[in-house]
Amino acid sequence: MKPTYLNNEQIYLRAVEPEDLDIMYNMENNPSSWDVSCFTVPYSRYVLKQYIQASQSDIYADKQLRLMIINRLDNQVVGTIDLTDFVPLHGRAGVGIAVKNEFRQQGIARQALELLVSYSFEFLHLRQLYVYVSVKNEASRKLFCSCGFTQTGILKDWLRVKEEYEDVFFMQLINLV
């Protein structure tokens, strides 16, 4: 049987489309995520439109890959998941995920992460995935642990949140196959 990637019974992951502009605009400009994303200014629709047009949706060309998380029931975008900082020589990429508030705590993030891990290891043949998680973000830590990521380090004072600094867990998932 031919393997299927990027989809299961409840969700599927797809490339960014021009009609995703407003969704991306709202998600990227949500100040509650700026602390962990290193954003310093809001994104304009113009900049996001250019990003969508310029993206080849090819991790080898772009060195990153953004995928939209889609709910199969109504084909609604419920979030995004990314491979970032792709280094082909070393077979590694960072992971980022954002799920709209109203779709959290439903298992969607875990399903999307499982699909991304499978795609990354079985199709792209990456050696490892990694993520930085604030020590205060227990939900994200649990999410990544549930998908096999392990904490391999702590980066002290890594994130500036308001007037304080926070440590982050450095977590990895290594493909041993």
> What would the two tokens of residue 106 be?
């439903």
Among 149, 150, 92, 157, which Cα is nearest to 125's? 92
Most confident by average pLDDT, 13-22, 36-45, 111-120: 111-120
Contact between 117 and 148 under an 8 Å Cβ cutoff? The reply is: yes
Position 2 pLDDT exceeds 60: no
CA distance 68 to 15: 6
Place of tokens 């004072």: 157
pTM beyond 0.85: yes
Residue 35, pLDDT score: 60
Contact between 14 and 5 under an 8 Å Cβ cutoff? The reply is: no
Contact between 150 and 172 under an 8 Å Cβ cutoff? The reply is: yes
CA distance 126 to 120: 6
Q: What's the pLDDT tens digit per position in 102-143?
A: 999 999 999 999 999 999 999 999 999 999 999 999 999 999
CA distance 68 to 72: 12
Contact between 94 and 85 under an 8 Å Cβ cutoff? The reply is: yes
Burial class of residue 30 in the structure, from the number of CB atoms within 10 Å of its CB (0-12 exposed, 13-18 middle, 19+ buried): middle
Q: Which domains does the chain have, with CATH numbers?
A: 11-127 (3.40.630.30)
Contact between 24 and 80 under an 8 Å Cβ cutoff? The reply is: yes
Q: What's the pLDDT tens digit per position in 52-109?
A: 888 887 899 999 999 999 999 999 999 999 999 999 999 999 999 999 989 999 999 9
Strand order in the sheet with 164-174: 11-15, 65-71, 76-87, 92-99, 128-134, 164-174, 150-161
- Mean pLDDT along residues 5-17: 94
